[in-house]
Amino acid sequence: MVGEVLWSPPVDVRDRSRIGAYLDWLRTDRGLEFDDYAALWRWSVTDLDGFWRSIWDYFEVKAYAEPTATLADAGMPGARWFPGATLNYAEHVLRMPGLADDAPVVLGHSQTRAPVTLTAAELREQVRRVRAGLVRLGVGTGDRVAAYAPNVPETFVLMLATTSLGAIFSSCAPEFGTRSVLDRWRQIEPTVLVAVDGYRYGDKPVDRRAEVAAIRAALPSLGHTVVLPYLEPDAAPPDGTLGWADLAAGTDEPLTFAAVPFDHPLYVLYSSGTTGLPKPIVHGHGGILLEHLKMLALHHDLGPADRFFWFTTTGWMMWNFLVSGPAVGAAIVLFDGNPAVAAEPGRPARPDLGTLWRLAADTRTSYFGTSAPFLLACRKAELRPADLVDLSALRGVGSTGAPLPAEGFRWVYDAVGADLRLDSLSGGTDVCTGFVGGVPLLPVRAGEIACRCLGSRVEARSADGSPVIDQLGELVITAPMPSMPVGFWNDPDGVRYREAYFDVYPGVWRHGDWITISERGSCVITGRSDATLNRGGVRLGTAEFYSVVEGLPEVTDSVVVHLEDDEGGAGELLLFVVLGEGLEWDPALAARIARELRTGLSPRHVPDEIHQVGAVPRTLSGKKLEVPVKKILTGAPIDSAAATGALVNPESLVAFERFARQRGGAG
């Protein structure tokens, strides 16, 4: 039953939670008292100045120059937060409040090498060394440093070293093929590249030296390339490159931090490339710092003595969210490898969905985050993590990347732990956070997201643009958040930025999700309202598919859709291709398409099925009709799925209707 209460806050929750301590501080320091979360949320989204200044003060943000205001301009886009303030994100992460110098703060686990643990003192020392190394390479404020690297401690160190200088960080997971990487990095023109030579996925070695060479050759902006010998630790760096040891060599320079404006670029994340090249989304030092302090401490209840583990890669914004953990005093657990197998260096791999749960137990993780499809896969496999390992340290589980259905909630409480707080949350790369999620003050209900997060004025809009409650609507944000993008890279007039979020509702952020908000403030998200694909909890852009598939000489056109299953699992990825004149479909071509997608983009981009069609439906302006095709494949009649009068080739829809009938009309 959706809405069934599965967990309730303890009666003394205000005495034992960080949000309870914050409420006490608001009462004593600000003279503000709130009876419940709903009242606190309403204040946080109406008195933006008061709320966000309270976050600044409560977490004792260190500024080199104090702000002249909290919110100088509340218009969207273009809100001006904390004008005049200078600070540095990396400095706040490395403060690590409540952690002694000898306390472990980074626990790196990998299927490529033995575990690596860094104490607070060791992390600061490594950042100091790599920072000095970047200075030797000429990196300064505003320069871009790119990491083609996995979720390992060195990538975290590099990010902090880069941003301590006021330089700008950007990462791609090494599973990305060269095309995906270059579509991103050609836009920002990095001057330094740090890359691994390869990695192991399970026990399978994946050599990336050829990809690194191709990336180097295609980026004329690069002045230096540094190779981290991850797959072959004893290998010398290739000619014309440096080794990681050279970058991190011992020096006497102190660890200092560039004082940069609140909205100075911190790192560049990327949209999924649905309608062209991936959009380079620029996030700022101050906005990310405040948002992550709020979310990690007040919503996830993380602080000193906690260990925070989220399964992610460096190509997903959840990595950026995870590595802010030390800013609230939490140690972070990093994992690189295949979550569905057990593999240790030197030992054969075996299928094992318990791998991440074992790591959570071994590291005494307090809060474990993953994707909804992973939790559903564990449920389908009838896994019971609580019977496998000791999860007594685990207080919270996070789920994102896709909606988690009610049966997924119930599985967590039955098979993982009855006393956990399960947070289903949703947000995006665009804001590098969750704007709906959980909070210690509210119960957990099956199939529901507990709340709209503090400072996030989320609404559902009907087709006519009016706000609705208990009805499905477009997810919009009607007040600015500090972690909204500074802008897009190389978009000086903000045209692309406005088109991305503000073209439907002027002055209001349209996110592209369908959401229902209940009277009590809980939320249910039912999927994307645009054509973005979502597989394994990772958003995939259709434009990237087409650039590879239609690059093959045999293929003249294509359309790809993702069909979710009824349980909210991974569903099916279906690719339809149009072949050149006189060519016939054969299995060898299907295998070649799959191989090109795997090597050019990533394994997640490989479709479950590939079929030939006569034509791809297009509008009069030439746009592919991905969403109408998806509707037809899930049983909708042609007339209700598409406005056929606006199509160049309405007859092309018949093939998809026939395909749907053959499959029973369901995904």
Angle at which helix 209-218 crosses helix 178-188, to 10 degrees, equals: 30
Q: Cβ–Cβ contacts within 10 Å for residue 471, how many?
A: 12
How many whole angstroms separate alpha carbon 145 and alpha carbon 169?
Answer: 5
- Residues pairing with 474 in the sheet: 461, 514
Q: Cis peptide leading into 77, omega within 30 of 0? A: yes
Q: Which amino acid is at 126?
A: Q
Residues 6+ apart with CB under 8 A from 187: 277, 280, 489, 490
Tokens of 174: 């090494």
DSSP 491: -
150 sits in which H/E element: none
pLDDT score, position 114? 96
Tokens of 342: 């057990």
- Residues pairing with 624 in the sheet: 618
pLDDT score, position 540? 61
* Residue that the structure tokens 């969403």 belong to: 627
Is residue 626 packed enough to be buried (19+ CB in 10 Å), middle (13-18) or exposed (0-12)? Answer: buried
pLDDT score, position 271? 82
Q: What pTM did the predictor assign?
A: 0.85
Q: How far is CA 448 from CA 318, 425, 522, in A?
A: 21, 9, 6
Backbone angles phi, psi at 476, to 5 degrees: -130, 160
Q: Cβ–Cβ contacts within 10 Å for residue 389, how many?
A: 15
532 sits in which H/E element: none
pLDDT score, position 42? 98
Backbone angles phi, psi at 164, to 5 degrees: -65, -25
**How many CA atoms lie less than 13 Å away from 169 in the CB half-sphere?**
30
Decide if 571 contacts 565 (C-beta within 8 A): yes
- Low-confidence stretches of the chain (pLDDT beneath 70): 1-2, 272-276, 344-346, 527-544, 547, 565-570, 619-623, 643-648, 665-667
pLDDT score, position 405? 84
Q: Which amino acid is at 354?
A: G
End-to-end, the C-alpha distance of the chain in Å comes to 23
- For residue range 351-397, what is the model confidence (pLDDT) as tens digits? 889 999 999 999 999 999 998 878 988 987 899 999 999 999 999 99
Tokens of 142: 């505003």
All domains in the chain, ordered by first residue = 89-516 (3.40.50.12780), 541-662 (3.30.300.30)
